[in-house]
A = this chain, B = another copy of it.
């Protein structure tokens, strides 16, 4: 038996494009772990009629309906009274919620205002889902054997309520089919090329295993999915086919799970017991930022000299003025000096340097926008490589950082 969920997101800000919806993706992942499929996602405006229309259209098709957004303290939030009315209840002050809201205001040294009293009102026909992280409680309604869960839109509040309050109740209620996903992260080659390489493996997949290609700026993600009653059996089958693909594609596959490239690099550094330092020019700290997103990165990451100005390249990194004057900052000679000097300054086992032109300005006929030089200095050798990216500034920065992290990965694999 397979259960279906629909996620309704409420908010004008999502319809005018001011906010990106990350909540739905997170909820979908949580539901998938429990074997519940998300059949559809809908975004509607902060309007009673539009919310009601979406509820009417979705309720017949979903075992579980999630609503997020529209529960905050200010005048533009209308979801709570609307749901109360839709499910035929009355608004009442909930004393537990009231005490919690007052305590939160005290802790944050903010005055408790008359309008905040409303935040403690809930419909009397729902189960309150406690919001440890904020003031707006979640709500659990039931109608015709279907579950309707309303949640605040602030991501970390929503996530806490789902993890701590909603999912335990959902797991108890719905025991569905197992769903198994496995993702291979391919880097450095295109979608069509991969498809051609593994065509025979793909054709021979059993009908209940589906392969999807997801191109992203860093990777082509290859996702194998399978649904059935025996989770262990599914996992074994998916693992076997994933392994066939991995062997065929070789070191193009950077990981066999959907983790960020910085996490892959962090694991490789720890495996080789090596520390990392950086000397970034055009990426402006972005590679260091990615590395330090990994919890525990202080165990292997020394630091970065973000030498955006040329005088920082000479004064701090000791790049020769002569080099900058003759071949320029975006050159093989410069990145080699940056990497090698940074290695002794930062006392790191390996260092990576980057210098390039990300655009929109700064390009010349000889050195066009998108040209990026990188070098890695290690205990026994220094390697250098140039890249050319063809996109706009944000995407070129993303591509350069991905290429840098991948260069570190391959350097470590080669040791």
Q: Interface of A with B (CB < 8 Å)?
A: 12-22, 24-30, 32, 37-46, 50, 54, 57, 72-76, 108, 110-111, 113, 115-116, 154, 156, 181, 183, 190-193, 195-196, 202, 210-216, 221, 223, 225, 258, 278, 280, 283-289, 291-293, 295-298, 301-309, 311-312, 315-316, 345-347, 359-362, 391-395, 397
CA distance A54 to B58 in the complex (A): 12
Question: Are A305 and B308 neighbours in the complex by a CB distance under 8 Å?
Answer: no
Say yes or no: A15-B41 contact (C-beta < 8 A), given A110-B193, A308-B292, A361-B296: yes
Interfacial chain B residues near A45, Cβ < 8 Å: 39
Question: Are A75 and B110 neighbours in the complex by a CB distance under 8 Å?
Answer: no
CA distance A91 to B393 in the complex (A): 37
Question: Are B14 and A18 neighbours in the complex by a CB distance under 8 Å?
Answer: no
Give me 16 other A-B pairs in contact (C-beta within 8 A), A18-B25, A113-B193, A284-B291 excluded: A12-B225, A14-B41, A15-B41, A19-B216, A39-B45, A40-B42, A42-B42, A72-B213, A156-B392, A285-B288, A293-B397, A295-B359, A296-B361, A303-B306, A305-B305, A312-B346
Say yes or no: A25-B32 contact (C-beta < 8 A), given A40-B42, A42-B41, A309-B301: no
Question: Are A309 and B315 neighbours in the complex by a CB distance under 8 Å?
Answer: no
Rounded to whole Å, the gap between the CB of A200 and the closest CB of chain B is: 13
Instruction: Name the CB-closest residue of B to A134.
Output: B215
CA distance A202 to B223 in the complex (A): 49
Of A16, A295, A301, A307, chain B has the most CB atoms within 10 Å of the CB of A16
Instruction: Name the CB-closest residue of B to A46.
Output: B212
CA distance A258 to B17 in the complex (A): 12
Interfacial chain B residues near A301, Cβ < 8 Å: 284, 308-309
Interfacial chain B residues near A38, Cβ < 8 Å: 15-17
Name A's interface SS: mixed
Say yes or no: A298-B309 contact (C-beta < 8 A), given A17-B28, A40-B42, A192-B74: yes
Rounded to whole Å, the gap between the CB of A274 and the closest CB of chain B is: 14
Say yes or no: A345-B316 contact (C-beta < 8 A), given A42-B40, A45-B39: yes
Q: Which 6 A-B pairs have the closest CB atoms?
A: A284-B292, A285-B288, A285-B285, A17-B28, A17-B29, A17-B25
Interfacial chain B residues near A14, Cβ < 8 Å: 24-25, 28, 41
Say yes or no: A211-B76 contact (C-beta < 8 A), given A38-B15, A288-B285: yes
